[in-house]
Amino acid sequence: MTEAVRGGQSKRLMEWARKHVADEATFMISAEVYAGEQRKSFSVSTLDKKDVMRLGTRHHRRDVRHGGPPRPGL
């Protein structure tokens, strides 16, 4: 799966997650945004499997429209 993550193979990742991630799984995601050395923003989100699968489906559609893996910053 490392190759799928590094290669931006969202369809393959979605298939793996559908088969191997428990329906009751939850995920905590944190993100920080910096301008130079200064932190400008920080957020934490808690998602369940349904949220992740829904986001992954949208992400995959964007990949197909743009003809490749997502670009950094999108």
Per the structure, how many domains does the chain have? 1
Question: What was the pLDDT predicted at 65?
Answer: 46
For the four alpha carbons of 13, 4, 58 and 56, in that order, the dihedral sign comes to positive
Stated pTM of the model: 0.56
Contact 3, 16 (CB under 8 A): no
- Does residue 52 lie in a domain region? yes
Range of the domain at 20: 2-66
Query: Terminal CA-to-CA distance of the chain, rounded, Å?
Result: 22
- The per-residue pLDDT string of the chain (74 residues; one tens digit each, 9 = 90 and over) reads 788 878 888 888 889 889 999 999 999 999 999 999 999 999 999 999 999 888 877 665 554 444 445 545 54
**Residue 71: inside a domain, yes or no?**
no
User: What does the alpha-carbon distance between residue 30 and residue 63 come to, in Å, rounded to a whole number?
Assistant: 23
